[in-house]
Amino acid sequence: MAAQADLELVRLAKRYGHGQHASLAVDHIDLRVAAGRYCCLLGPSGCGKTSTLRMIAGHEDASSGDIVLGGRNITHLPAAARGTAMMFQSYALFPHLSSLDNVAFSLKMRGVDRATRHRRAQDLLERVSLGHLASRKPSELSGGQQQRVALARALITEPRVLLLDEPLSALDPFLRVQMRAELKRWQTTLGMTFIHVTHSQEEAMALADHVVVMNAGRIEQDGPPREVFNAPRSEFVARFIGGHNVLPAADGKIAVRTDKTRLAREVPEDTPHRLDATVTGAEYQGTHVLVTLHCDAMPDNELRAVLSESLYAELPWRSGDRAVAHWRAADVHALPA
């Protein structure tokens, strides 16, 4: 594989349309992804993730700013000359071609001779444990196998950075979790930078060692997943990443993790961090129970508490129960105003 290289986005922007109808899909973002990282671009629909990925790939022109890979400015290079490759969803495989020819396709486009491209494609298929299925067409493969062909097809140009746009969204939930683990394993084995677009915080948390949370064309926060989860820098991040209650406080808003939010029938009057609430539901989730509450102090806002199964069994909650939600001072994370 080619040498590793950091990827840098410098004031990168994408504007669609002209004049009155112009819209800024990516709003001058700065980002540095160190070589060999699994980076997930995470955010709600329309936040600019795919536009960012497509600009890195060279499938979309940047309106302004720079894309630098390993110190080389690739902003205006054609897609094939950038050292990046896009892994498309498995359903984008050519249905009439064998796995081998699907994998070899981009070498054919580059004029590589048949024997060489078949040898390289076969090597890659072996690497993803599909060497024995090289002659099968996509329709003769399982969803997971098709996904591996798609990966091999992307890797054949020996990219420094692999770009993945929602690669797991077409798979059923069971296969998705399985393929997620495979993606992570491949990335670790290859030691290559992966940039993976997803709107699923669960997927980003499971895969990434660098999470980039985007909102309305901007980067709200980026960093290691634990840091982003435990120290959200904005209300948007706390809400989008999930697992937090965002609560009013004397000097702004605070976030408290749902698994640090405790419930009691009564607490001493002088308990500092408390809110009176009414249970609206309890959802059994296997290892834990999610209790939802309506809180009078914030009528438009639902409060959530994640309790261990054993704790819930000791003190079950039913819809309509009055409860006091409380938390420790150490579990309060202040959000900037």
Ligand X SMILES: Nc1ncnc2c1ncn2[C@@H]1O[C@H](COP(=O)(O)OP(=O)(O)OP(=O)(O)O)[C@@H](O)[C@H]1O
Which residue ranges make up the site for ligand X (CB under 6 A)? 16-17, 25, 43, 45-51, 199
Measured from the CB atom, the residue of 19 and 111 that comes closer to ligand X is 19
DSSP strand pairing (288-295 vs 274-284): antiparallel
Determine whether 254 is exposed, middle or buried from the number of CB atoms within 10 Å of its CB (0-12, 13-18, 19+): buried
Least Å distance, CB 311 to ligand X, is 37
Least Å distance, CB 29 to ligand X, is 12
Beta carbons of 33 and 195 less than 8 angstroms apart: yes
Measured from the CB atom, the residue of 53 and 256 that comes closer to ligand X is 53
DSSP classification of residue 141? S
Least Å distance, CB 220 to ligand X, is 13
Q: Is 286 left (phi over 0), alpha (psi -120 to 50) or beta?
A: left
| Polymer length in residues for the chain | 337
If residue 11 lies in a helix (H) or strand (E), which one and from where to where?
A: strand 7-16
Measured from the CB atom, the residue of 18 and 318 that comes closer to ligand X is 18
* CA-to-CA dists, residue 335 to 172, 253, 325, angstroms: 36, 6, 19
Measured from the CB atom, the residue of 41 and 104 that comes closer to ligand X is 41
Cα separation, 296 vs 209, in Å, equals 39
Cα separation, 257 vs 245, in Å, equals 6
Measured from the CB atom, the residue of 138 and 217 that comes closer to ligand X is 217
Measured from the CB atom, the residue of 48 and 83 that comes closer to ligand X is 48
Measured from the CB atom, the residue of 59 and 108 that comes closer to ligand X is 59
Pair of tokens at residue 252: 């702004």
Least Å distance, CB 89 to ligand X, is 12
Least Å distance, CB 199 to ligand X, is 5
Determine whether 116 is exposed, middle or buried from the number of CB atoms within 10 Å of its CB (0-12, 13-18, 19+): exposed
Least Å distance, CB 204 to ligand X, is 13
E strand map for 182-284: 193-198, 210-215, 218-223, 244-249, 252-257, 262-264, 274-284
DSSP classification of residue 170? T
Question: Number of C-alpha atoms within 13 angstroms, CB side, residue 299?
Answer: 0
Measured from the CB atom, the residue of 29 and 307 that comes closer to ligand X is 29
Least Å distance, CB 196 to ligand X, is 12
Pair of tokens at residue 286: 């296997």
Least Å distance, CB 236 to ligand X, is 14
DSSP classification of residue 166? S
